[in-house]
Amino acid sequence: MKNLSTALCVFLFGILTVLPIGFIYGQSFTVKYLISDGLPSQEIYDVHQDKNGMIWIACDRGIASFDGTSFKSYGLIDGIPSNMVFEFFEQSDGTIWCTTKELQLFYFHPDTLVFRNYKYNDKLLYAYENSIQEAEPRALVVGNDGSVKFRTLWRSGTISVSKDGELSFEVPDLTKAIYYVERKLVRDKSGYPSVKHLPGDEVTIPEGFRFSSRQHLIELEDTYVWTSQMAYQILRKDNFEQVQYKYFGDRPVILNVGLNDGNGSKGFWIGFMHNGVKVYDQKGRLKSHLAKDYSATTYFEDSEGGVWIGTHGSGLLYYSKSKLRLLRSSLGAEIYSLSIDDVGRLTYMTNQHLVFYVDEKLNSVFLKQTEWNDILGQYYFSNETFYNDFIRSENENGSSLRFSDNRSRFPLFVSSSFIFDQDMNILLTSRGTRRLMADAEYLGSYMVVASEKSLLKIDQKGNELKRKNLGVKIVELDVHNDLIYCATKGKGVIILDKNLRVVDRIDTSKGAPSNFVFEVLIDGDTLWIASTNGLCKAFKRTNGEWKLENITLKEGLPDREVRDIEIIDGTVFLATRGGVCYFEQSDWKEITKEETRVYFKKVDLLVNGSSRKNFLDLSHDENQLEIQYNLITFANTRKLNFRYKLIGFNDNWEITSDRRVVYKSLPPGKYELVIQALINGTPRGNPIREKIVIHPAFYNQWWFHLSLWSFVVLVIWLFFKYRILNYNRGVIQEILRQILRRLRPEKNQFIVRCDGRDVRIVSEEVIYVESSRNYITIYTTSNRYVVRHKISDFTSLVPDPLEYIRVKRSVIVRVDKVTEKGVKSIKLGDKEFKVGKTYVENLKKIEL
């Protein structure tokens, strides 16, 4: 059964290594976009990136935009005059002009996405239908006055339209001349170049430049690149002298040519039929050759350094810029250990117990199966590093051998229970104890051994000389310049001197990506650290402090964990759960360089579902808010998240992958919404900050509350003022009455005429007075008197008018004779009077 499984593994991996493994990951596309991914067509003509970072694709089904997440297509229904769009030409103000097969031009601005047709398209359409049907416009130039001009692939000269709509173009007479000998460069007043073809003999023409062949002119800094379908030549600008010439045969192989000025590089590219795209510098030196299995129609480098290649019918290819590459043969395999065999080849072990070596073409070749060490949790193999004879494991539990890293002397053989010297003599054993050996290294004439949480120093005979407990499990050791570097599970790298004293430490507090370390590798003055969160490169500054630089998922690692490191001739190889990753040491700065240009911006602000310019001055019922935002990235789409917080409402960060934040019912107040883009958990670009002001309802406004309370206070004040005023008035009146009573004579008398006689009446004896027509009846305690007199003038008769009040129109009572007082009546002994409405207020003057 074991032989059968081994044979099957050899067969499967043999297929993998023979078929597509010829190209390393760095030469294969990262993503391939097809119609199923949202492309309107797989026939791509041009790719462009606008000022907002959006990628635009021109094809034979209109155009499409791509933000790294989804495509959005635009066609005839959106106002585009033709479905077959050839090229994009961005102007200084960000407006993008587009050319089409029928010579119809249109333009749009990426901020508005309103498509407008060129006002003189009718003139160009007339020329297309009558004279120049196979023009294929190139190198469009739009003047400030509205004029346009462009060269074509199939015709010489320039097609132009003036600001007034005057069309100008040249159509050569193909019946008179098929070949040309003189290539005359013509410039107009603005310096725009074009090539004129003059007839001549066939002998003098460069091979591949027939007059009817599709030709293109590219202007570089000092030269022109002139191409046909079968050849290209580079010509000097000053004298048209040929600098370089390349003929590809008599069959058309060149599909398209373009200027390459992305990310500061200058040069040109050529797209070939079934041979991808070749990128050259200005002197014609080949820089790269990509997509060799495809027919390439366009090439573009975006702001992140990624490369986009349009193809003839095969969709759109995207290449990430990362200098980190993967062995394609190791894709999908979890790599646990790396080593170098006796001839300097890289070997690696997978979680399928398979061992491979990597040949000079970076193909993987299957070697054998190896044993799994359950105790140490790693793969070890023994016959590829220093010797060819297989060393048998001495541990009946099945743990295999591990070797010390010092290649300057014969290695120590370490298993979980034994340490052997070069003669396979047992130096140290854990048989019968719980000691488990993880690694061992030479330390001068001594050895150091990692055993669980302790570091042991032993002599050549295996005698323990000293022990240091580090308080954390030691995974791996390395020794350099009498210093011991311990990779630990939780405390980073602990550095000890030869006396086992801790002298330094490298952990997250100093900038390391993780405190859980798998491997430490010393390469000269550089310390390489493999951890659960990436790779760390550490070296000491002149002041003795450590400088740490890290690469993680953000820089393109296929997996967060790096388990092992090997360096061969300046190439660093990493064992990850996503395969064997590698890079050149010379590319380290470029790998760790931060991107400075990030396209992160808000897209729209919605209040109760309606678009707004800002979130300021909102009413209390405008509290359902939504902000839409986007970060355009193509290299980090799977690693992109966002975090946000609403200062004044919730100051804690919230993590989301959505490209919008919604608050369904935000209470009135002043807030600030902060949104940041995260790539692998690291903030990128400037955060979006949006101030929010929601006013409370008018009945919750401070001025309303102030007005309301002021009104209440005023009412209360008026109420009390009125009551107190009335009360005080009665009190004052009573006081005056009492004072006057004491000041007047003991007998207050007044005289009335009754029945023709003058009668003296004592005022204190009067009970009440009642009128009847022109007479009044005065009731006293002892008698009653009928007097011809008006009741309204009665108080003028008595000496103490304050003692009397009127309770009805016809009744006046003496105050001190009132025995009972109700709300609407009074009693004077047994006599009760109803108080008239007009005189109810007089009741307040009666104090019982």
CA-based nearest residue to 53, from 796, 600, 684: 600
On whether residue 388 sits in a domain, the answer given is no
Rounded CA-CA distance 558/542 in Å is 34
Residue 820 lies in a domain: yes
Ordered DSSP codes for 681-710: TEEEEEEEEEEEEEPPPGGGSHHHHHHHHH
**Burial bucket for residue 162 (CB in 10 Å: 0-12, 13-18, 19+):** middle
- At 293, phi and psi to the nearest 5? -90, 5
pLDDT higher than threshold 90 for residue 90 = yes
433 within a domain of the structure (yes/no): yes
Residue 572 lies in a domain: yes
Whole-angstrom CA distances from 720 to 181, 237, 727 are 115, 102, 10
Split into its structural domains, the chain has a count of: 6
Q: Look-up: residue for tokens 């969709």?
A: 315
Region 117-138 average pLDDT:
81
pLDDT(428) > 70? no
* pLDDT tops 70 at residue 28: no
Mean pLDDT on 54-58: 95
* 689 shares a domain with 608: yes
What DSSP character marks residue 792? G
Residue 742: the pLDDT is: 66
Q: Compute CA 6 distance to the chain's CA centroid, rounded to the nearest angstrom.
A: 48
- Token readout for 754 is 């009754």
pLDDT digits (tens, 9 = 90+) for 99-116: 998 889 999 999 999 999
Same domain flag for 200 and 306: yes
Q: Strand ranges (DSSP E) for 153-253?
A: 158-161, 167-168, 180-187, 193-199, 216-219, 223-227, 231-236, 242-247
pLDDT in tens, 713-751: 988 888 877 777 666 666 666 677 667 666 655 567 888
The tens digit of pLDDT for each residue in 234-270 reads: 988 887 788 899 998 888 899 999 998 766 568 999 9
One domain, residues 664 and 717: no
How far is it, in rounded angstroms, from Cα 257 to Cα 274? Answer: 15
Asked which of 593, 626, 660 is the last residue of a domain, the reply is 593
Model confidence at 332: pLDDT above 80:
no
**Residues with Cβ within 8 Å of residue 44, at least 6 apart in sequence:** 57, 58, 59, 297, 298, 310, 311, 312, 315, 316
One domain for residues 538 and 486: no
Same domain, 589 and 714: no
| pLDDT score at 327 | 79
Domain boundary among 281, 300, 319: 319
Q: Which pLDDT band holds residue 795 (cuts at 50, 70, 90)?
A: confident
483 — pLDDT class (breaks 50, 70, 90) = very high
Is residue 423 very low, low, confident or very high in pLDDT (cuts 50, 70, 90)?
A: low
Q: From the CB of residue 736, how many other CB atoms can be counted at a distance below 10 Å?
A: 11
Residue 170 · residue 156 · CB < 8 Å: yes
Model confidence at 42: pLDDT above 50? yes
Structural domain containing residue 727: 701-743
pLDDT at 538: 93
Cβ contacts of residue 580 below 8 Å, gap of 6+? Answer: 326, 327, 330, 335, 338, 346, 348, 358, 573, 574
Contact 319, 30 (CB under 8 A): yes
Does residue 841 surpass a pLDDT of 60?
A: yes
pLDDT surpassing 60 at residue 384 = no
Which residues face 352 on adjacent strands? none
Q: What is the CA radius of gyration of the chain?
A: 51
Let me know whether 273 and 204 are in one domain: yes
Q: For residues 255 and 276, what is the distance between their CA atoms, to the nearest angstrom?
A: 10
10 Å CB burial of residue 595 (0-12, 13-18, 19+) is: middle
Quick one: what percent of the chain has pLDDT higher than 70? 77
Question: Are 442 and 419 within one domain?
Answer: yes
Segment among 275-279, 345-349, 386-390, 827-831 with least mean pLDDT: 386-390
- Residues 375, 372: Cα–Cα separation, whole Å: 9
- Are 313 and 188 within one domain? yes
197 plus 221 within the same structural domain: yes
Q: Is 802 helix (H, G, I), strand (E, B) or coil?
A: helix
In a domain, 351, yes or no: no
577: in domain: yes
- The residue ranking higher by pLDDT, 737 or 129, is 129
- Residue type present at position 724: I
Residues 711 and 842 grouped into a single domain? no
Is 383 within a domain? no
Give backbone dihedrals phi and psi of 701, rounded to 5 degrees, phi first. Answer: -75, 150
In a domain, 118, yes or no: no
Name the pTM for this structure.
Answer: 0.59
Do 682 and 803 reside in the same domain of the chain?
A: no
**Does 371 score more than 90 pLDDT?**
no
**Average pLDDT across the chain, whole number:** 80
Domain endpoint, select from 482, 506, 530: 506
Q: Mark whether 470 and 454 lie in a shared domain.
A: yes
What are 270-306's pLDDT values in tens digits? Answer: 999 999 999 998 888 888 888 888 999 999 998 888 8
Distance CA 296, CA 317 (A): 10
Task: List the single range of 114-123, 222-231, 608-617 with lowest mean pLDDT.
Answer: 608-617
CATH of the domain at 456: 2.40.128.630
Mean pLDDT confidence for 663-682: 85
